[in-house]
Amino acid sequence: MNKSTKEKLYQMFILGLEGETLSGNPNLKAALQKGLGGVIFFTQNIKTEKQFKNLINEIKKEALIFPFLSIDQEGGRVERTENIHDGKKYLSPKYAAQKGEEFLKNQTEQIACELKDFGINLNFAPCVDVNTNPDNPIIGERAFSDKTDEVIKFGKIVTQEYLKNGIIPCLKHYPGHGDTNQDSHLTLPEINLPFEEMEKIHIKPFKEISAPMIMAAHLHCACFDKEKIPTSLGKNAIGYLRKNLGFEGVIITDDMVMQGALGFESTKACEMAIKAGVNILLYRNSFDETIQIIENLAQKALLDKELKENIEISFEKIMKLKIKN
């Protein structure tokens, strides 16, 4: 596929939108025409089945390259289709797992079939954090368990069920958000566990569960970096995932507007992530400043060999995943 560096760079972004139609989002429409990699949907974008399907069809028509159509649909606290379900919710991962493997499998199949019917092809699930800190404000019932082996067992079931039903699953939040006592939406959480403990308890699910995509968290792990840098932007944490765990799939950041990622200027943060080995940058919006970040990076890539090479590598990984699915 003969694409320009800028088009390849646009493939490395998944952006969100305001409201319920593409017509109210001229930046997103223009980005799709330039090669945007995908769109993420939230509750505010999903009012009725008909409206949501129409929105997805509009997006497909405008896209230069077939897009990732993505959502956070974990069940329980993180569920984006509640307007359609009239308040009826899927169980959160913790409580679904407590009902047993068969229940979890069946619920995951229901979620997958519903998402596929809408036109969704990527779900940012399962959450394979091991919730070892009972005071964790952000994970809690989103985790299957506080025990690593149980997280692996249930995480494999969910991952395989999505793959079987034509939905790309994304493991999150590498290297493990389970021991934090802070919310990365609000600050940069710090984990000061020894590396051996991180590896044995929190990183292990990302090693044992085979998935095509992994989401990197905005948290600081002292065992990877002395400098206060999010693992999502750090060469050490991302390098470990690539080299030590042998992960060859697509790495995506958590939402780049979260406070955990805002310790660096926005273009610089994205550049750091790309050079660390991240393949997709996730933004919940498509504001002017977000589009400007992509344009800034495209200009930088003209003179920065490392940045350009990493864009090429990311484009290949992204297209390989899209063609496969």
pLDDT in tens, 66-87: 999 999 999 999 999 988 877 6
Q: What is the pLDDT of residue 300?
A: 97
pLDDT in tens, 194-228: 999 999 999 999 999 999 999 999 999 999 999 99
pLDDT in tens, 88-109: 789 999 999 999 999 999 999 9
Identify the three-state secondary structure at position 72: coil
pLDDT over 90 (residue 286): yes
Q: What's the pLDDT at 259?
A: 84
Please report which confidence band the pLDDT of residue 183 belongs to, taking 50, 70 and 90 as the band edges. Answer: confident
Tens of pLDDT, residues 299-317? 999 999 999 999 999 999 9
Could you tell me the pLDDT band of residue 113, with boundaries at 50, 70 and 90? Answer: very high
Q: Which two tokens stand for residue 288?
A: 């002017």
* Residue 135 CB neighbour total at 10 angstroms: 8
Indicate the SS3 state at residue 87. Answer: coil
Q: Report how many helices (DSSP H) and strands (DSSP E) the chain contains, helices first.
A: 13, 10
- Spatial CA neighbour of 75 closest among 127, 20, 133: 127
| Alpha helices, DSSP H, located in 82-203 | 82-85, 93-98, 101-118, 148-164, 195-197
Q: Is 180 helix (H, G, I), strand (E, B) or coil?
A: coil
Least confident of 54-58, 173-177, 183-187: 183-187
**Among 4-13, 76-85, 179-188, whose mean pLDDT is lowest?**
179-188
Burial of 207 (0-12, 13-18, 19+ CB in 10 A): middle
Q: Is pLDDT at 45 greater than 60 in this prediction?
A: yes
What pLDDT does residue 1 have? Answer: 55
Distance between CA atoms of residues 151 and 144, nearest Å: 5
Query: What's the mean pLDDT when you consider all of the chain?
Result: 95
What is the model's pLDDT at position 88?
72
Contact of 142 with 97, CB cutoff 8 Å: no
pLDDT single digits (tens) 238-249? 999 999 999 999
Average pLDDT of 40-60? 97
Element (DSSP H or E) covering residue 14:
strand 13-15
Say whether pLDDT at 153 is over 90. yes
pLDDT-based confidence at 164, cuts 50/70/90?
Answer: very high
Q: Who's near 303: CB < 8 A, 6+ residues apart?
A: none
Average of per-residue pLDDT across 117-129:
97
Residue 96 CA to its chain's centroid (Å):
22
The residue written with tokens 């997958």 in the block is: 112
- Rounded to 5 degrees, what are φ and ψ at 161? -70, -40
Residue 86 region by backbone torsions, left for phi larger than 0, else alpha for psi between -120 and 50, else beta: left
pLDDT of residue 225: 94
Instruction: Decide if 6 contacts 34 (C-beta within 8 A).
Output: yes
Give the mean model confidence (pLDDT) for residues 280-309: 97
The angle formed by the CA atoms of residues 156, 161 and 167, to the nearest 5 degrees, is 115
Residue 70's pLDDT is what? 98
- By annotation, the residues acting in catalysis are 185, 254
Element (H, E) at 70: strand 68-71
Per-residue pLDDT averaged across 135-163, rounded? 96
Pairing of strands 168-174, 122-123: parallel
Residue 105, CA atoms < 13 Å, CB-side half-sphere:
8
